[in-house]
């Protein structure tokens, strides 16, 4: 059994599912609308499987309204993933800040004046 964060990243690993989430980020859409851009490359059952993965990961919610199956994005699951990544963003920013500070202390050497890499004139 996978933890929710693993399910989230697994679901986000697929470009089709990310495209579906991008569509849902603009507002609620039914399954037919989500499927339309992909019907030339895959079957409706394959699209349904993608939606089930997103739903199982908690990234979308799917309801029933007569014959329609409206879906909407669930921001909480995305927030959990963003919160987890935040600690690494902070790490990289601090690392780059340290690198920048170090690079400011390094004085560039000009070739030819006592450096080992200076070319000898022949």
Sketch the domain layout of the chain as residue ranges: 1-105
d(CA 117, CA 53): 58
% of the chain exceeding 90 in pLDDT: 48
Domain formed by 1-105, architecture: Orthogonal Bundle (1.10)
Query: Which pTM does this prediction carry?
Result: 0.70
Q: 21-25, 44-48, 104-108: lowest mean pLDDT where?
A: 104-108
Helices (H), the chain: 4-12, 15-24, 31-35, 44-56, 75-105
50 backbone φψ class: left, alpha, beta (φ>0; ψ -120 to 50): alpha
Question: Is residue 77 helix, strand or coil?
Answer: helix
d(CA 108, CA 115): 11
The predicted-structure confidence for 27-77, as pLDDT tens digits, reads as follows 999 998 999 999 999 999 999 999 999 999 999 998 887 777 889 999 888
Q: 62-71, 80-89, 96-105: lowest mean pLDDT where?
A: 62-71
């Amino acid at each position: 059994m996978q933890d929710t964060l693993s399910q989230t990243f697994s679901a986000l690993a697929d470009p089709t599912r990310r495209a579906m989430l991008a569509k849902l980020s603009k507002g609620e859409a039914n399954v037919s609308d989500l499927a339309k851009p992909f019907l030339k490359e895959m079957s409706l059952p394959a699209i349904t499987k993608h939606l089930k993965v997103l739903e199982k990961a908690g990234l979308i919610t799917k309801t029933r309204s007569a014959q329609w199956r409206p879906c909407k994005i669930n921001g909480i699951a995305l927030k959990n993933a963003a919160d987890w990544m935040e600690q690494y963003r902070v790490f990289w920013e601090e690392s780059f800040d340290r690198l920048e500070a170090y690079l400011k202390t390094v004085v560039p050497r000009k070739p030819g004046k006592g450096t080992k890499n200076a070319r000898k004139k022949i």
